[in-house]
Structure 1
Amino acid sequence: MNRTEVLDRVGGVLLLPNTEIATTKQVAEFYGVDYQVVNKLIQRNREELESNGVKVMPHREIKAMVYEDNMSLYKISKRGATVFTKRAILLAGFMLRDSKIALEVRNQALNIIESSSDEHKTFEITKEKELLMAIMFATNEIERATAINVHLEYVNRHKKQLEETIDKQTKVITHKQDVIEGLTDNISLAEKWKSFCYK
């Protein structure tokens, strides 16, 4: 089961029409909290929320997605709005403290995790058993080699995801270092220019 289905179990979040996103105001209404509470939540947890789908969208992009002429119904300013994906809405529910709906979202999520972990373990064992049997019952060396590769990919899939994540984060860090070095270079260039001009 998709983890964001928790939201539907609790009562369903009202999304913008024809989209899988909701505005900050809609998220606040769903959780029964003041708009400013969600706004502060974004300010305090910006990086984590943005990595899970929170972003600022221009008015024209939202209008193009919603396919509605009467955007005033959704109270979206001409500058645009901060929007949440279902995943980000769920994450906000884990961060909000004084909301009965958020508490219910957390309870439902825990219920799903409890009930699905046994199913997931069974699926993992069954899948690995199938892959090992494909190796055992291969009729020739090519089939066996292919089955071994498929099994190794399956076993190492989490390692690959982790390596991809580390690679992405390394690129971000390298980019930030380049920006900082660029700023440092600009400062020394400015100092040289100043000393040249004011000698």
Structure 2
Amino acid sequence: MTSKLFYAAIAVLLVATAYLGGVASVWNGRYEQGYKTGFDAARQKLSGATTVNLQQNPLYSLAGKVSAIEDSKIKITVPQVVLDPFAEQAPTERTVVASSSTAIEIQMSKDPALFPKLLADYQKKLAEFQKKAKLGELPPAPPSAYEQKNGTIADIQIGDTIQIFGEPTTDLTMLQEITALRIIKQVAPTSAPAGALPQ
């Protein structure tokens, strides 16, 4: 009698386990479907409610901090460029290839002592422009805080910030490796002269 009760208890336990397993499987499927539905709904709601345009426009240049240099390859760390938090995120570690045709420029701060004269010249040109300006004609540009000279990859060091430009029709948003047409090593001015604009 005892053995019959024992085997009956085992049978009940197996049936209960199978039932609960089936329920769990169905529940997991519903959970996954429910999560996806909620996820998509939240994304749509956020896109409609936010004042920020989450639509991703093509990127033709990137700026990042140099983390490593090996021969003609420069590794940089860039900020996240994809605005939509629900979309596939872009890589923040990129490899920049400097080919023989890549133009490398070094951005340098102008001497702040020169700016009084540069600013005076600009104000004179602006005054002349305002007297003779024609419809659609653009005013003269303010003096820049920077000047640029040609350089090589040897001028770029770890820790530098560089701006890279790819092919004019190539979207750089998701590219892990980028062959650069132009690289600018950026240098912040030691003191920003009044009236100067970065170039």
TM-score, length basis structure 1: 0.21
Structure holding more strand per residue: 2
Q: Which has the higher contact order (CA 8 A, sep 6+)?
A: 2
| Structure whose alpha-carbon radius of gyration is higher | 2
Structure holding more helix per residue: 1
TM-score, length basis structure 2: 0.21
